[in-house]
Amino acid sequence: MSISFKDKVAIVTGAGGGLGREYALELARRGARVVVNDLGGSRDGTGHSDMALQVVEEIEKAGGEAVSNGASVTEYDQMEKMVADAKQKWGGVHILINNAGVLRDKTFAKMEPEDFEFVVKVHLLGSAYASKACWETMREQSYGRILMTASSTGLFGNFGQANYGAAKLGLVGLAKTLQLEGAKYNIKVNSLAPVAGTRMTEDLFPEEAFKLFDPVNVVPAALYLVSEDAPSNAIVGAGAGGYHSAWVEMNEAVWLPEGERTVEGFAANWAKISEESNLHAPQSGAEQSGAILQAMQKVTGTG
């Protein structure tokens, strides 16, 4: 089975280096026309350069089609213009990989509010802005594939990355609602938690791990998740050559009779309430109240 992106127009944000560059190169190799977006800043988001242009040159040399875009994902009007330009040139936008990112790691005690705001702005608002800029076009086309770049930090936490973790789990929340709203328009939205040796991780990974986690190994997961037959609402982890899924799950609700609905009653039942068994991954928020009502029915036989 060969997976083609012929006749598809793809935008990859933050594609001037690291993972985004690999996604852009492979999408173009497989026939997509690619908007290579990158403002070309440093790892902490300061400065500008022509990183995107260099990737476009690489794609063109290999016989592919691409344009560079130096806009910041934090500027909604620039995202709208990026989409309008792509539509004018190629007639549509089918794929968006929200990949642009920055780091400003510090313990929460030392983190300045500006560092928190900036990191949330680039990752969460930047992805929301780029997605919003594509949304109407994808609805009109009845075709859209959006990938959010989450992170193990968002899913599971990581010391020194409160700003980044908040933004990254926020992206999963964004994906979960967009996939519901996009379903009837054939818009599929997934989240990816990559692990890769890039400039973002160069001083965090030991040298051997840096080599092992070559970003090319993330490409299969990312491209599958934006392909024609992509699933929707998946959370996938990828790195080195290992691939897995993750879920947001809940256990079965414990129904407390009226007399036990006290702080003490809750405490007495905590072991049961927090038991990691009979887990279920709801497909929408409404399933939470459904599960609670089911627990009530089981105990009271009513509802």
Q: From the CB of 268, what's the least distance to ligand NAD, in Å?
A: 40
Q: Which is nearer to ligand NAD, 151 or 163 (CB)?
A: 151
DSSP string covering 213-245:
T-GGGGHHHHHHTTSTT--SS-EEEEETTEEEE
Tokens of 135: 């949304």
Q: Judged by CB, which is closer to ligand NAD: 241, or 290?
A: 241
* Catalytic residue of the set 164, 185, 224, 243: 164
Annotated active-site residue 164? The verdict is yes
Q: Is 99 in contact with 19 (CB distance < 8 Å)?
A: yes
- Give the separation between CA 246 and CA 235, rounded to whole angstroms: 5
Binding residues for ligand NAD, rule: CB under 6 A, are 13-14, 16-20, 37-41, 43, 45, 51, 72-74, 99-102, 122, 126, 149, 151, 194-196, 198-201
CB closer to ligand NAD out of 131 and 201:
201
Closer Cβ to ligand NAD, 66 or 256, answer by number: 66
Q: Distances from the Cα of 67 to the Cαs of 58, 128, 298, in angstroms?
A: 11, 22, 59
Tell the burial category of 138 from Cβ atoms under 10 Å away from its Cβ (0-12, 13-18, 19+).
buried
Cβ atoms 243, 192 nearer than 8 A = no
Q: CB 53 → ligand NAD: shortest distance, Å? A: 12
> Dihedrals φ, ψ of 199, to 5°?
-65, -20
